[in-house]
Amino acid sequence: MKYLLLLIGLFFLTSCKDSPKPSLQAVEKTSGTELLVDQSHSGKVSIDTLEKYKKLGQKYAATTKGVLGKKLVQAITEKGPDGAVEFCNINALPLTDSISLAHGAKIRRVSDKPRNPLNKANEKELVFITDFKKMLASGKAVEPILDTTGGQIDFYYPIITNAMCLQCHGVPEEQIATSTLAILNKLYPKDMAQDYQVNEVRGIWAINFKENN
Ligand code: HEC
């Protein structure tokens, strides 16, 4: 049993190490903008299909952002930031999951500095987060990334902070009030999602489209 576990452990270690480090290429100019795909894009997926999923990804990300944002503002207005933290704690993931179900695509919000450990970005997503940080720093328009490795289509787009976010993701005791901080520490003892400023990459939308979707 011990050896079996060891073997499984080794398998995961090696599979992690061997997983490709995606890097980006712009495949085509579409309506004046670049379509960014992973470098291993083999051309098996047509540009039209990529364009279709880019639009669909943008739509789903915007819809989910709209729903979460509206409920968040409502919760802050009704209960203040402390109550809104509890609202996010209970509802953010179920809301995202229900929108996923409705659209038949897996929609996630992941981060390199997660508050909820369930929202931790994987190795590949971390690379894309770095790409988006560079895109944002360059001052150029931020474009979605499409990843076609593994026979599926994955869509990625950054989630950028604004002033409103800082009351829960800003500097503790400055933008995050002491009472809010206490609730955050209780609910998220391993919270990494603090100390942000405005216009930073807080995380990304990661939307997975299954084949034939
Ligand atoms: C009222 C407090 C509050 C505000 C304001 C707030 N957040 Fe959060 N945020 C949270 C909480 C709590 C979680 C963890 C939710 C969970 O447990 O699923 C979270 C999670 C996230 C996540 C998922 C990744 C992670 O760290 O777990 C992202 C991305 C995120 N927030 C972005 C934002 C952005 C962008 C804004 C501003 C537009 C914002 N948040 C405003 C409280 C807040």
pLDDT digits (tens, 9 = 90+) for 158-181: 999 999 999 999 999 999 999 999
Position 138 pLDDT exceeds 90: yes
How many whole angstroms from 191 Cα to the centroid of ligand 1?
A: 11
Q: Does the structure show a pLDDT above 50 at 134? A: yes
CA of 102 to the centre of ligand 1 (A): 22
Residue whose tokens read 């495949």 = 27
Residues 13 and 2: their CA atoms lie apart, in Å, by 16
Q: What single letter denotes the amino acid at residue 79?
A: K
Token pair for 135 = 């895109």
**Ligand 1 atom closest to Cα of residue 161:** 35
Q: Is 193 in the pocket of ligand 1 (CB under 6 A)?
A: yes
How far from the centroid of its chain's Cα atoms is residue 75's Cα? 22
Nearest CA to ligand 1 atom 43: 168
Q: Could you tell me which of 206, 151, 169 has the C-alpha nearest to residue 81?
A: 169
Average confidence (pLDDT) over 56-85? 97
Distance 76 CA to ligand 1 centre (A): 13
State whether the beta carbon of 89 lies less than 6 angstroms from ligand 1. yes
Q: What is the mean pLDDT of residues 119-141?
A: 95
Query: Which residue among 107, 113, 165 is best mutated to probe the pocket of ligand 1, counting the most ligand atoms within 8 A of its Cβ?
Result: 165
Contacts of 209 (CB under 8 A, 6+ apart): 53, 56, 57, 105, 152, 153, 154, 155
- pLDDT band at 151; cut points 50, 70, 90: confident
The token pair at 66 is 């709209």
Q: Is 129 in the pocket of ligand 1 (CB under 6 A)?
A: no
Which residue type is seen at 108? Answer: R
- Residue scoring higher pLDDT (89 or 47): 89
pLDDT averaged over every residue in the chain: 86
